[in-house]
Structure 1
Amino acid sequence: MSAMSAKPAASFANALIERHRFEEAFVFWHARHADDGPGALATLASLSRQAAREHQHQLAAGYHAMHTALRRGSRWYPGMLAERLLPLYEVAVTSDRLCHDAAQLEYLHQLGVLGDAFPPIIARYRRLAARLQARTQPRPASHPATMLNPPLEAYRRPWWEPQRQPQMAPWLEPDRGTRFGSSEHSRHDRRTLLSSDEQDAIDEVYDRIIHLRPTPCVAQAFSGHALAAVRRAPPGHGITVIDDFLSSEALDELWRFCLQSTIWFSEHGHGRLGATYDNGFNCPLLVQIAQGVFGDGRQLLELKAGKHPPRLPGESLHGAAGGWQLQIWLTPDTANLDSASGGMVIRDRDGRTRHIAYRQNRAVLFDPRLAHGAASCDFRDDHAGARITMTMLYA
């Protein structure tokens, strides 16, 4: 689709989104571009980036929501045009991911969110996870297949997206003493291509949004002191810790959104999962929080969340592009079985290593160029006990 032909469609979609008529905007966009899935997704991504650059947060969120519905839609979400969903792609899965998804679907079924069609689906997930665990055997770290270990996107990228090669910033100084990548590759973490029969067993659910918890704005998203602390000049070492960052209502709503929404599509090894703005980590409350931190003073570059398995060693320290990163821990402290676990490690500008302890509703604002990583975690082993972190990156 050319830029010229995209402009009238975008203008009409803008008008619908700005009037909170998302369903109409989605149906209109789908009708115009259903025969060009790759072009539609690329255009939506471009429009959302443009809106973000112009600090039009609601508009950017609307385009991200349409991108999600088009790429990740199911017959349960958004519930419109289910018979004309975009196809997914050849699936390579891990047993870790299958076990997580089965636990989340069971949690939602117990809440009454999902109907009686789901217990058989959950059972199929668990049978497939057990089959994959039995099929794979541990390999030594020196085994060629383990050493290569291509990123998951190389196996599971959509058919319309080119393969991207991983890159590491040349100025990063990794922590040579940390554990990831130095031990035997977990067999539960190994990606396995499914047979056509195995893929058919989970195809209508896997990698699609089944439930997106309605989570509207709240009257007050932040505690009384939070924004003043953010907007003060950061200290010389580039790290600011703010406790009780969100209001109690915003914190509870956001945590429940993360627990209930089936948005955990990204896999980062060792059972770690991620959710991104353009693939479902998007609701009015999130936009309210992301917009409120700096107002219109800084462009929001990235909005995402991470979820850890109950027990995990610490991450290798890493860095990213410049700007400001705000990280908020959402899981209740009662789920943390070891008060020394679950926090993060940051190397400040003077080269000193700082250990920041985990605490629910604690926000850490820092320069992401500083080497940083999650500390080891020991959390309760159930769906509601997972360590969940929300991250916002600003220019």
Structure 2
Amino acid sequence: MGLRTLLGRVQERLERRAETLSSVVVPARVAPGPTAADESLFPLRRAVALAPEDARASLALAHGLEQAGRIEDAARSACSAAHLARRRADAETELEACRTWARLEPAPPEPAIALAAALAAAGHAAEAAEAYERVIAAHGPRVDLLVALGAVNDEMGRSDDAFRAYGRAVELEPENAGALIYAGVAARDAGRVAEGEAYLERALRVVPDSAHAIFNLGLLRMDRGGLDAAARDFDAARALRRGEPWTDAVVGQRLATSRCDPRDMDWGCTRFKLEHDIEQLGYLRAAGKIGAGYDAVIAEYRRALGDPSLPADPYSMVPLDPSRYPTLAASYKRPLHVPAIVLPQGPMISESLHWGDIEARYLGSEPNMVSIDGLLAPGALEALRVWCLEATVWNDVKAGYLGASMHDGFANPLLLRIAAELRERMPRVIGERPLQTMWAFKYDSQYGGTGVHAHEAAVKLNFWVTPDEANLDPGGGGLLVHSREAPQDWGFRRFNVEAAEIRRFLESSGSEAIRVPYRANRAMLFDSGLFHETDTFRFKPGYENRRVNITLLYGTRDR
């Protein structure tokens, strides 16, 4: 008898036995088999088992469990999906999971808080504010909830609402330094300068070395005309973040003692950042601005550029091993050279401009925007151009370009004078609106520019400083300003990150793009809520030819 025949007979016997057993009435109680609902969950559970980090799989299981009537299990699965999505920075899935979780468990505060946070992260600021208000009304005020409520109101430019939320947080915890700082900043935005100063000084009594508090105190002093005191505050804030400026006399000692935290995102290196720093340090070395002590820094940056773990993709950021590159780790993003700046004689803003006419053109246009040629006086333009070439403040790594931020060193006395004079020259457009911040971006023609976005400020002034000779496309290379502004209920993420959604909004609203060609010392003054982006550009190769633009933001959208 062959094996196949034998197996066939065994199978027949098993089937006959099964038929016999099924015809017998068994008095004992047996456990019920799986229901149809249980069987429908098998593939969903299997998907989660195969991909335990997949938020979409956990969310699908939550929906399946809900349909099967297993509400508690569904809520747990939705909660898991929300946490997984947040770890992966998947705002869309996180929001869907939190909506499901909050619907399944409406009573406890945790799902409602998670939903409010997910709404804020996804840029739905108005919904997030309402969600936080509901949680606070239902479960009582908490500092973290009030601070979060203040933050989403800040994003929408609701300065008074933000100030009230932060103020309530301070009432709950009078020594909470974070709440005190937020309250101080919001008070300034709401026009309550004295209250803002009091909150920030209280914060510094709690945390004397808070760079954030010192920086914002500098902004308040600037509002009151104390530019020298403000400059000292900004220098102190930078020193707390980056250390004191380096010199030839201390470079050896700083290289031996400075350290980096490899877990800090600020340590992340990109190819284009290293390329820029090598070019800048080489420029400074050739000009005699830094000495031979920096040669080891330049050499190690070049060696790091060849590290196999550094991606060829210039936009990818990786933490290089600091033990392999100790000199890079000691010097990366440090103030290796911060040149002293001598203010030119006379005003920083050109005296040949007719500011009354400029304001009239701005206020009479729809939407509000006007271009200004010859913004700075010649001496101020040259001094600022040199400072941007020399100062090692380009620490903000963007998508193919670098930023220098006011809170991180981009705040010299010349810039502060320019910002103050602009307020004086335009009392109707800027006037009492405080300077929110300023920054500069430096671009390389190999890569792209700033994508479409908007700001929560009232007025934006953008101007360029690189000489026109560097621009290979005189008809472009500047700015595209769209004729529609961001909806008032959009949060930061939606009008700064979600490019596809912005494009859909601009197309559906019939927005038109106004092209402003690049010119050195040309400024564009416009409503900060208008969507805008860098135009395509082609500049000559070489460090001195990199495209540099400077931005100042004044006021908030509600003021």
- TM-score interval (norm. to shorter): 0.7 to 0.9
Counterpart for residue 284 of structure 2: 108
Q: Which amino acid aligns with 1:225?
A: L
> Is the CA contact (8 Å cut-off) linking 2:393 and 2:408 kept in structure 1?
yes
Match of 2:533, SS state, is strand
Aligned to 1:316: 451
* Alignment of 1:367 onto 2:493: no
Q: Which residue of 1 aligns with 2:353?
A: 225
Structure 2 partner of 1:355? 515
From the superposition, tell whether residues 88 and 293 of structure 1 become closer, same or farther in structure 2 (CA, over 3 Å). farther
Q: 1:93 aligns with which of 269, 272, 282?
A: 269
User: In structure 2, what is the Cα distance between the partners aligned to 1:363 and 1:259?
Assistant: 20
Q: Deviations over 1:239-280 (max 9, x none)?
A: 10011111111111101110010000001112x000011211
SS at match of 1:290: helix
**Structure 2 residue ranges without an equivalent (≥5):** 1-173, 178-203, 425-430, 485-509
Q: TM-score, normalised by structure 2?
A: 0.52
Which of 381, 399, 414 is 1:251 aligned to?
A: 381
Q: Which has the higher helix share?
A: 2
Contact 1:98 / 1:125 at 8 angstroms: preserved in 2? yes
- Preserved contact between residue 226 and residue 242 of structure 1 (Cα < 8 Å): no
1:135 is the counterpart of 2:309: yes
Mapped partners of 1:42, 1:283: distance in 2: 17
Larger of the two Rg values belongs to structure: 2
| C-alpha distance in 1 between matches for 2:292 and 2:354 | 43
The residue aligned with 1:391 is 551
- In structure 2, relative to structure 1, the CA distance for the partners of 1:79 and 1:347 (3 Å cut) is farther
Q: Aligned partners of 1:38, 1:100: CA distance in 2, in Å?
A: 35
Contact residue 217 and residue 288 of structure 1 kept, 8 A = no
Structure 1 residues 52 and 110: CA distance shift in structure 2, 3 A: same
8 Å CA contact retained: 2:481, 2:515: yes
Q: Does 1:285 align with 2:414?
A: yes
Partner SS state of residue 69, structure 1: helix
Per the TM alignment, residue 96 of structure 1 is displaced from its structure 2 partner at its CA by 1.0
Unmatched tracts of structure 1, length 5 or more? 5-31, 139-186
Alpha-carbon offset, residue 221 of structure 1: 1.2
Q: Conserved in 1, the CA contact under 8 Å of 2:243 and 2:334?
A: yes
Within 5 Å, which residues of 2 pair with 1:114-125? 114-125=290-301
In terms of mean alpha carbon deviation, does 97-106 or 210-219 score higher? 210-219
Per chain length, whose mean CA-contact separation is higher, i.e. which structure has more relative contact order (CA < 8 Å, sep 6+)?
Answer: 1
2:525 is matched by which residue type in structure 1?
L
The 5-angstrom pairing of residues 34-49 of structure 1 reads 39-49=209-219
Alignment correspondent of 1:182:
none
- Change in 2 beyond 3 A, CA 1:212/1:196: closer
Match of 1:297 in 2: 432
CA-CA distance at 1:37 after TM superposition: 8.6
* 2:348 is the alignment partner of 1:241: no
Q: How many residues align?
A: 315
1:256-271 matches, within 5 Å, as 256-270=386-400
* Aligned residues of 2:442 and 2:546 also touching (Cα < 8 A): yes
Contact 1:311 1:376 in 2 (8 A): no
Q: CA deviation at 1:237?
A: 1.9
Q: Is the 8 A contact 1:343 1:355 kept in 2?
A: yes
SS of the counterpart of 1:192? Answer: coil
CA contact (8 A) 2:443 2:449 kept: no
Contact 2:282 / 2:298 at 8 angstroms: preserved in 1? yes
| C-alpha deviation, 1:50, in angstroms | 3.4
**Distance in 1 of aligned mates of 2:300 and 2:250:** 26
Counterpart position of 1:18: none
Counterpart Cα distance in 2 of 1:348 and 1:302? 24
> What code does the residue aligned with 2:261 have?
Y
Distance 1:382 1:113, change over 3 A: same
* Conserved? CA contact 2:458–2:554, under 8 Å: yes
- State the 1:316 CA deviation: 3.1
Letter of the 2:338 counterpart = L
Of 398, 405, 417, which residue of structure 2 is paired with 1:276? 405
Deviation, structure 1 residue 380: 1.3
How many angstroms apart in 1 are the aligned matches of 2:257 and 2:236?
A: 13
Aligned mates of 1:347, 1:237 — CA distance in 2: 9
1:176-195 alpha-carbon deviations (Å, 9 max, x no partner): xxxxxxxxxxx122111111
Residue identity opposite 1:104 in structure 2: Q
**For residue 288 of structure 2, what is the amino acid of its counterpart?**
G
Does the Cα contact within 8 Å between 2:443 and 2:546 map onto a contact in 1? yes
**Correspondence for 1:59:** 229
Q: Matched residues, percent identical? A: 26
Q: What does 1:10-89 align with in structure 2 at a 5 Å threshold?
A: 39-52=209-222, 54=224, 56-74=226-244, 76=246, 88-89=260-261
Shift of 1:209: 0.5
State the distance in 1 between where 2:356 and 2:380 align: 18
Q: 1:2: Cα distance to partner?
A: 6.2
Paired with 1:314 and 1:265, the residues of 2 have a C-alpha distance of: 17
Do the aligned partners of 2:222 and 2:230 also contact (CA within 8 Å) in 1? yes
User: How far 1:86 moved relative to its partner?
Assistant: 8.2
Alignment check: 8 A CA contact 1:70 1:86 kept: no
Question: Residue 314 of structure 2 is aligned with which of 173, 188, 203?
Answer: 188
- AA aligned to 1:331 is T
Number of the residue aligned with 1:151 = none
- 2:134 matched residue in structure 1: none
Equivalent residue letter for 2:286: Q
For residue 92 of structure 2, what is the aligned residue in structure 1? none
Q: Match of 2:302?
A: 126
For 1:105, give the aligned amino acid.
L
- CA shift, 1:341, in A, is 3.4
Query: How far did 1:56 drift?
Result: 3.9
Matches of 2:540 and 2:227 in 1, distance apart?
36
Matches within 5 A, 1:333-352: 333-349=468-484, 351-352=511-512
1:376 paired with 2:504, answer: no
C-alpha distance in 2 between matches for 1:73 and 1:306: 22
- Please tell me the root mean square deviation across aligned C-alpha atoms, in Å: 3.1
